Amino acid sequence: MIITIDGPAAAGKGTLAAFLAEKYRLAYFDTGMVYRAVGLMMVLAGLDINDEEQAAATAGQLTFVKMMELSKHPDFRSPIGSQAASVVSAHPKVRQALLRMQQDFARHPTFADGQPASGAIYDGRDTGTVVCPDADFKFFITAAPEVRARRRYEEYLQKGKEVSFEEVFADMQARDKRDAERATAPMKPAADAVIVDTSSMSAAEVAAAVCRQIEQGKQNKSE
Ligand code: DC
């Protein structure tokens, strides 16, 4: 079984994906990591993230192992890392270079300990539209921008990061705009995705709503 969860930052995709991965024993691929890894590799090497050729060459060097290593860096999920990921992800050649690596995961889903899994769950922006257009279940998880900025701000506070709410909100709006307006694989729901607005839902309510859809879908398929 392949499940895709797309949508804007801090809409609740990661929490939902982790829950579903556990419940259905699926290997989890957070596809934002590939763009974060390329952005961070460029920042650390002093390269220009706006240069598509250099970004594509950097993407061509990325491996799963390297990505996992980079994910331990303090800037991997910081505002600097988020901004760099969003900029490099708008380059069509970068997306092309990283597509195969993402699609291979659905062919050979693997848990973090290397054990094979019977299916995969993806989270990102284009996993239902481009990466896995034939997924069994597709969801588009969204929430009002202020709600998402508040969630992300609270995450930063918990991690002891010094940022203002205004800064987080402005960064999120800039990122949403770039992700939704880029020419290649813009963030949008797949035609066959179920859209869930989590603005006034708890994580448990979101999980319950999505599980109902999956169970219903499985039943329909077996009939
Ligand atoms: O989900 P995230 O915040 O970790 O994603 C970081 C950036 O990567 C985001 O601004 C857009 C980009 N991204 C993408 O373009 N396509 C994906 N499938 C996942 C992320």
pLDDT at 185: 87
Percent of the chain with pLDDT over 70: 100
Q: Which pLDDT belongs to residue 161? A: 85
Mean of pLDDT over the chain: 95
Best mutation site among 31, 88, 123 for ligand 1 pocket (most ligand atoms within 8 Å of CB): 31
Query: 28: closest CA among 99, 105, 94?
Result: 105
Q: Where are the domains of the chain?
A: 2-211
Give the containing element (helix H, strand E) for 156: helix 145-158
> What is the model's pTM?
0.94
Q: What is the pLDDT of residue 221?
A: 85
Residue 223 has pLDDT above 90, yes or no: no
Q: Ligand 1: does its nearest atom lie under 6 Å from the Cβ of 4?
A: no
Whole-number pLDDT of residue 5: 98
Residues 110-119 as b/e (b if ≥16 CB within 10 A, e otherwise) read eeeeeeebeb
What average pLDDT score do residues 208-218 get? 96
Q: How many CB atoms lie within 10 A of CB 71?
A: 15
Quote the pLDDT of residue 79.
Answer: 86
For residue 9 and ligand 1, the question of a CB distance below 6 A is answered with: yes
- Report which protein residue has its CA nearest ligand 1's atom 8: 32
Tell the CATH topology of 2-211: Rossmann fold (3.40.50)
The whole-number pLDDT of residue 40 equals 98
